[in-house]
Amino acid sequence: MKTEKIILGIDPGTAIMGFGVIKVMGNQMSFVQMNELDLRKVKDTYVKLRRIFERTLELIDTHHPDEIALEAPFFGKNVQSMLKLGRAQGVAMAAGLSRDIPVTEYAPRKIKQSITGKGTASKEQVAKMLQSLLQIKELPKNLDMTDGLAAAVCHFYNSGRIEVGKSYSGWSAFVKQNEKRIVK
C-alpha cells in the first residue's frame, strides 16, 4: 500500500512569500497548489511577520503537510535584508514547529541544483523545469510562487538521502565518509 505525504514549500520574504504544496505517493509527486502572500502594501514590519505566521498556519490547517521545506536566506552584502529575511523565515518555521511539523531548510543553490541540475540556474529555468515535472499548465507571472514550490520539490528529491548540507569533493571522499553504507 502506498503512503501519502504532503510537503509544503515556502520561500519566505517580507515583500512576497511564495509557497507551493505537493503530494507524494510512493516515489511519485504531484502538484497541489502554489500561490503567494503579497505584503508589499503592509508598512509595519511586525504586522508583516504576523501575517506570514498566520498564513503559514492557514496553509497547515488546509493541507495538513507532513513536512515543511524552507528556502534559507542567501548570504548577501545587505545585512538589513538578511535580518528581514531571517525573521520571515523564523516565523514561518515557528508556525510549522508549533504544530509539530518537521522543518528543513535548503540553500537557494541547493534548490536550484535539485530541480535543474545547475546551482546557478535562473528563476525562469527553475520555473520551466517545475512546469515540466509537475505538468503545470500555466506559470504565474510572479516566480516567488514557483520558488516556494521548488523548495517542496527539492525536499522530495532529498528526503531520505545523504545528509542535507553535506558536500563531498568526489567519490573517494564520499566513500571514506560513508563506509557504513557500503556493501562489501
User: pLDDT by residue (tens digit) across 90-117?
Assistant: 999 999 999 999 999 999 999 999 999 9
Which residue in the block uniquely carries the three cell numbers 541544483? 113
pTM score of the predicted model:
0.84
Exactly one of 11, 36, 67, 147 is catalytic; which is it?
Answer: 11
| Known catalytic residue at 11 | yes
H, E, C per residue of 35-101: EEEECCCCCCHHHHHHHHHHHHHHHHHHHCCCEEEEECCCCCCCHHHHHHHHHHHHHHHHHHHHCCC
For residue 144, say whether it is annotated as part of any ligand binding site: yes
Q: How many domains does the chain have?
A: 1
For residue 4, say whether it is annotated as part of any ligand binding site: no
| Known catalytic residue at 179 | no
Query: What is the CATH number for 129?
Result: 3.30.420.10
For residue 11, say whether it is annotated as part of any ligand binding site: yes
| Known catalytic residue at 71 | yes
- For the stretch 13-53, pLDDT in tens is 999 999 999 999 988 999 999 999 999 999 999 999 999 99
Exactly one of 36, 67, 71, 147 is catalytic; which is it?
Answer: 71
Residue-number span of the structural domain to which 38 is assigned: 4-181
